[in-house]
């Protein structure tokens, strides 16, 4: 993932195939088996999935899926509270990191009183917000230049769509990868009168497309182009630039339906 996890938590353990073969694999926060980082999960005796994404297809033997949950971290923090369990500071930091990133630092619509209450639990277990924030939010001059660029090159559609198309040449000049660039889609969030915001960033495989909305369900549009995600936060990979107008058309239809 794009969160520098090891800076905050630790390096991943190296686990042998033999150990995996006698283990329970718990797979978290991924709806789609090919996206699992260590594909050896398939060798485990039993696979248990904990997730909040809209399932793309099923895998594993057991699953705990709550598509209404803000974050898998929140589901686990709930579980910890329910069973009066304790967390180490490292565990609390991992869950806090998930809660903060999946909620846009307590910004998104699914944040409730329970979110704050569970966050308070995590701090009680030793989660250190300054460490998390320093890693998540530290700005570099390159990032500031990128943000400035986006704010000078966005395009708009009167239906309520705001978007930016970033070619690989532009990204190269700005010193940012397509993956990192598209993760910044919320730079175009919360613009007055614009209810869907989208980044199209060119990579070797095509155009990475990230779509967000403040209420309109855009997951179906991402699915139509081979992607998926959440109702208000989805993405897909477009094989060709010629598909961009098609995505825009579909999003404009969604906007007009909700106008």
Under the rule (CB under 8 A), what is the footprint of a second copy? 105-107, 109, 111-114, 116-117, 119-121, 123-124, 129-130, 133-134, 137-141, 144-145, 147-148, 151-152, 154, 189-192
* Residue 111: count of CB within 10 angstroms of its CB: 18
2 or 116: whose CB is closer to a second copy? 116
- Closest separation in Å from C-beta 102 to a second copy: 14
248 touches 239 (CB < 8 A): no
Q: Which of 148, 143, 145, 181 lies closest to 165, judged by CA? A: 181
50 or 69: whose CB is closer to a second copy? 69
- Closest separation in Å from C-beta 144 to a second copy: 4
129 touches 96 (CB < 8 A): yes
21 or 123: whose CB is closer to a second copy? 123
- Closest separation in Å from C-beta 30 to a second copy: 27
* Phi, psi dihedrals of residue 165, rounded to the nearest 5°: -110, 125
- Closest separation in Å from C-beta 146 to a second copy: 9
244 touches 252 (CB < 8 A): no
- Closest separation in Å from C-beta 117 to a second copy: 4
Q: 65-73, long-range: CB within 8 Å, 24+ apart, which pairs?
A: 67/230, 68/110, 69/110, 70/99, 70/102, 70/103, 70/108, 70/110, 70/111, 70/115, 71/29, 71/98, 71/99, 71/101, 71/102, 71/103, 72/28, 72/29, 72/98, 72/102, 73/97, 73/98, 73/99, 73/102
180 touches 201 (CB < 8 A): no
- Residue identified by tokens 């619509």 is 109
49 or 184: whose CB is closer to a second copy? 184
- Closest separation in Å from C-beta 52 to a second copy: 20
88 or 120: whose CB is closer to a second copy? 120
34 or 113: whose CB is closer to a second copy? 113
Distance CA 24, CA 32 (A): 19
């Amino acid at each position: 993932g794009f969160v520098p996890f090891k800076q905050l938590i630790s390096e991943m353990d190296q686990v042998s195939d033999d150990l995996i073969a006698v283990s329970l694999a718990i797979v978290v926060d991924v709806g789609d088996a090919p996206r699992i980082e260590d594909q050896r999960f398939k060798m485990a005796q039993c696979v248990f999935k904990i997730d909040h994404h809209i399932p793309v297809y099923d895998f594993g033997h057991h699953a705990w899926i709550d598509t209404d949950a803000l974050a898998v971290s929140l589901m686990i923090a709930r579980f910890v509270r329910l069973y009066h369990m304790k967390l180490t500071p490292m565990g609390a930091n991992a869950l806090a990191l998930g809660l903060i990133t999946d909620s846009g630092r307590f910004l998104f619509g699914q944040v409730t009183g329970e979110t704050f209450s569970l966050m308070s639990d995590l701090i009680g277990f030793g989660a250190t917000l300054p460490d998390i924030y320093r890693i998540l939010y530290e700005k570099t001059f390159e990032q500031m230049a990128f943000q400035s660029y986006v704010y000078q090159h966005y395009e708009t559609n009167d239906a309520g769509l705001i978007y930016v198309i970033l070619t690989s040449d532009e990204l190269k000049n700005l010193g940012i990868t397509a993956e990192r660039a598209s993760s910044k889609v919320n730079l175009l969030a919360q613009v007055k009168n614009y209810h869907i915001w989208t980044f199209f960033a060119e990579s070797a495989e095509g155009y990475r497309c990230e779509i967000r909305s403040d209420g309109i369900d855009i997951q179906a549009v991402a699915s139509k182009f081979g992607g998926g995600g959440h109702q208000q936060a989805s993405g897909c990979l477009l094989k060709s630039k010629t598909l961009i107008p098609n995505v825009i058309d579909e999003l404009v239809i969604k906007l007009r339906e909700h106008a």
